[in-house]
Structure 1
Amino acid sequence: MAATPMLPPNLAPGDGNAPAAPPPPGTDMTGICFRDQLWLNTYPLDRNLVFDYFALSPFYDYTCNNEQLRMRSIHPLDISHLSKMTGVEFMLNEVIEPHLFVIRKQKRDGPEKVTPMLTYYVLDGSIYQAPQVCNVFAARVGRTLYHISKAFTTAASRLEKIGHADSENESVSNEPKAAKETIDFKEVKRVDHILASLQRKLPPAPQPPPFPEGYAPPSNAEGEQGPETEQADPKIPLVDPILDQGPSKRQKYT
């Protein structure tokens, strides 16, 4: 294990102007981050040295059992020694070298009885305190309520504007509504389909009434006359005898 400082910064000898003591371990320090670039440039960050790096941060508790093992020149994460002790200790819970190291602070009451307290993680050389689950849920619920309240406020204000604009349009504008509506071709096709289905259900149209006796319909074009028209008597007039055409328009027969 590399030789790194074992005393906290506030206990290191100096010229009398010692830096201020860090916050007491165990308090909420989720808003701060620790990073020592000089140490990272000097030592490799792996599972053997990550605890020495963590001991430099304000998250470290110098009253833990790991510190007692360091003073006895024993690796601070040796579980064979930590399991025989009681009190506060740090354990390396998860490792993804060299990017992520999860360190858990727990209270040991026996070889098999431990109570988790806090969790810290070293992400690419920066040390953070993980928030507790209750704080995460409280933050998420508060954020959700804020966005829901904001959405209802925005919707109410927009509905107010729409209602005000509609009232103004009804009083000022006289344009027909049909001119503003757009044609929906799907709706047109649906109406055509309904009309076609109704037409199929209706009974067939009745036959037209017969023509009066002696009436022959005039032909529209030459050569379109049927066989009955060709065999008709040329002496029979091709006009309706019932209609009075006047003396000047009546055909004379000899």
Structure 2
Amino acid sequence: MATTPLPPAAGNPSFDPAAVGLPPPPGTDMTGICFRDPLWLSSFPLDRTYVFDYFVLSPFYDWTCNNEQLRSRSIHPLDLSHLSKMTGIEYMLSEVLEPHLFVIRKQKRDGPEKVTPMLTYYVLDGSIYQAPQLCNVFSARIGRAIYHISKAFTLAASKLEKIGYADSENDSASTEPKIEKEAIDIRELKRIDHILASLHRKLPPAPPPPPFPEGYTPPASEAEKGPEDQQSSEAQLASADPIIDQGPSKRMKFQ
């Protein structure tokens, strides 16, 4: 297994943290940077055996992790049989699609079966990136959606303003063209009457109304009522109206 040069020991007085490229303080966002070493890629194959040695060269690597202790003892840094017996920060190779994609997870181990994921990195065609956290992804997607929705409402409002401006111009124009449009064409009207009359002649006569049920007496119409009935009804209406009884001269006058 090819290994990269190891940094000086931490107990050495000449140990310089800046020289070995210690990771930035916790909380530093490194999703905007990318690492790629064409010289290493041209010298070694990129597979599950050598990908961690390539990841060590990147600024994402934490030199205080458990994997580095295994490398110093000439043990493969991803050997789970040794990592499970240790506690602290470690890196694991979670997914592999050789030779294009490798996913490396940074996690904190508190026991053989107890680990807490921290960050995720991926090597895509030789370039190493830090994957954004899920909350940042949701925030970016929601912000982009709100931006497009706001832009759509602004565009719709501007078009509605143009439509309202055009309607106001049409309302302020002279009404002479409207009178010409609303003029009735006599010839067209006669033509429609002729068509309706021809259709009426072609239709069969209306069927007689159904008979009334037994015991039902239909109300008499005004024409069937006799003159005596009409006079009695008029007398009842007249007696019911106090204004008619009093007459115009007997109405109350309001000052």
Range of TM-score over shorter length = 0.5 to 0.7
Identity across matched positions, percent? 75
Q: How many corresponding residue pairs? A: 182
Aligned to 2:95: 94
> Residues of 1 paired with 2:46 and 2:180: CA distance?
74
Q: Which structure: greater helix fraction?
A: 2
Aligned to 1:151: 152
Aligned to 1:40: 41
Aligned to 2:137: 136
Aligned to 2:82: 81
> Residues of 2 paired with 1:136 and 1:122: CA distance?
19
Shift of the 117–143 alpha-carbon distance from structure 1 to 2, 3 Å rule, reads: same
Which range moves more in the overlay, 138-147 or 25-34?
25-34
Aligned to 2:104: 103
**1:19 to partner: Cα distance:** 9.8
> Residues of 1 paired with 2:76 and 2:55: CA distance?
14
> Residues of 1 paired with 2:32 and 2:77: CA distance?
27
**1:6 to partner: Cα distance:** 2.6
**1:33 to partner: Cα distance:** 0.5
Aligned to 1:171: 172
1:107·1:115 contact (CA, 8 Å) conserved in 2?
yes
**1:3 to partner: Cα distance:** 3.1
The CA deviation string for residues 75-110 of structure 1, in whole angstroms up to 9 with x for no partner, is: 000000000000000000000000000000000000
| 1:55 is the counterpart of 2:56 | yes
1:25·1:59 contact (CA, 8 Å) conserved in 2?
no
Q: 5 Å matches for 1:1-254?
A: 1-7=1-7, 23-24=24-25, 27-172=28-173, 175=177, 203-204=203-204
> Residues of 1 paired with 2:87 and 2:21: CA distance?
30
**1:37 to partner: Cα distance:** 0.6
1:100·1:123 contact (CA, 8 Å) conserved in 2?
yes
DSSP 3-state at the match of 1:89: strand
**1:20 to partner: Cα distance:** 8.2
Shift of the 173–138 alpha-carbon distance from structure 1 to 2, 3 Å rule, reads: farther
> Residues of 2 paired with 1:65 and 1:25: CA distance?
18
> Residues of 2 paired with 1:71 and 1:64: CA distance?
11
Aligned to 2:214: none
2:47·2:99 contact (CA, 8 Å) conserved in 1?
yes
What runs of 5+ residues in structure 1 fail to find an aligned partner?
Answer: 180-194, 207-254
The CA deviation string for residues 26-52 of structure 1, in whole angstroms up to 9 with x for no partner, is: 632101100001100110000000000
Quote the RMSD (CA, aligned, Å). Answer: 3.2
TM-score, structure 1 normalization:
0.64
What runs of 5+ residues in structure 2 fail to find an aligned partner?
Answer: 9-13, 182-194, 207-255
Shift of the 178–101 alpha-carbon distance from structure 1 to 2, 3 Å rule, reads: farther
1:32·1:128 contact (CA, 8 Å) conserved in 2?
yes
Aligned to 1:215: none
TM-score, structure 2 normalization:
0.64
1:77·1:91 contact (CA, 8 Å) conserved in 2?
yes
> Residues of 1 paired with 2:156 and 2:180: CA distance?
28
1:140 is aligned with what amino acid?
Answer: R
2:105·2:118 contact (CA, 8 Å) conserved in 1?
yes
> Residues of 2 paired with 1:43 and 1:177: CA distance?
88
**1:158 to partner: Cα distance:** 1.1
> Residues of 1 paired with 2:171 and 2:100: CA distance?
66
**1:25 to partner: Cα distance:** 6.1
Shift of the 23–178 alpha-carbon distance from structure 1 to 2, 3 Å rule, reads: farther
**1:171 to partner: Cα distance:** 2.2
Shift of the 70–91 alpha-carbon distance from structure 1 to 2, 3 Å rule, reads: same
